[in-house]
């Protein structure tokens, strides 16, 4: 049985809380945008600052997007999909064999798409067009006051606005 994603989420949120104790961060210029992407040897893909699109027929181990969306086209398959400050969108015919998680965004499972594990949207909505689209648990945590999502605001405040892309390849470090 797969470990439950809530333990990992609790650790992430606990580590993010010290960000509130810092002084007001310096804001980067509006015309600067960090865009990074990496493919790992095990077949995982990671992007920051842009969308990650898994095309029809592609099989990817894990898909991670920070400040971007994950879009799975018809016939695309991933083990797990995690978007931070972005959405996870499964078009009809797409499949996530594990969990689909969005922190500060939404999870959208169109009719004909499948999530074999859990579908979790923290600070956003979970929308599954078909009852059998998600086999595992369905969790959507969103709390709005005056039209503003408090959970999403908390997540955005916890994540530093000046996030930088740091990709460390353990294999390259050893050689």
pLDDT in tens, 69-121: 999 999 999 999 999 989 999 999 999 999 999 998 899 999 999 999 999 99
Angle ∠(100,103,106) on CA atoms, nearest 5 = 65
At 11 the pLDDT is 43
Three-class SS of residue 33?
Answer: coil
84 with 66: CB under 8 angstroms? yes
CA distance 93 to 44: 20
57 with 38: CB under 8 angstroms? no
Tell me which residue of 146, 156, 35, 163 sits closest to 104, measured CA to CA: 156
Sorted by where each begins, the domain ranges of the chain are 5-20+34-164
Section 115-134 average pLDDT: 94
The chain-wide mean pLDDT, for the chain, equals 77
Residue 17 predicted with pLDDT over 50: no
Angle ∠(117,120,122) on CA atoms, nearest 5 = 165
């Amino acid at each position: 049985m797969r470990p439950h994603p809530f333990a990992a989420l609790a650790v992430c949120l606990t580590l993010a809380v010290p960000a509130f104790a810092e002084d007001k961060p310096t804001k980067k210029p509006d015309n600067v945008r960090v865009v990074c992407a990496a493919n790992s040897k095990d077949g995982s893909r990671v992007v920051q600052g842009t969308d990650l699109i898994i095309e029809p027929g592609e099989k990817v181990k894990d898909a991670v997007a920070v400040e971007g969306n994950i879009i799975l086209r018809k016939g695309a398959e991933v083990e797990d999909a995690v978007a931070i400050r972005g959405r996870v969108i499964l078009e009809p015919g797409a499949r996530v064999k594990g969990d689909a998680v969005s922190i500060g965004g939404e999870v959208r499972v169109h009719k004909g798409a499948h999530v074999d594990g859990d579908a979790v949207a923290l600070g956003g909505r979970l929308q599954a067009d078909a009852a059998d689209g998600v086999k595992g648990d369905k969790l959507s945590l969103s709390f709005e006051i005056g039209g503003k999502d408090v959970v999403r605001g908390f997540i955005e405040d916890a994540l530093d606005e000046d996030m930088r892309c740091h990709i460390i390849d353990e294999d390259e470090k050893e050689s």
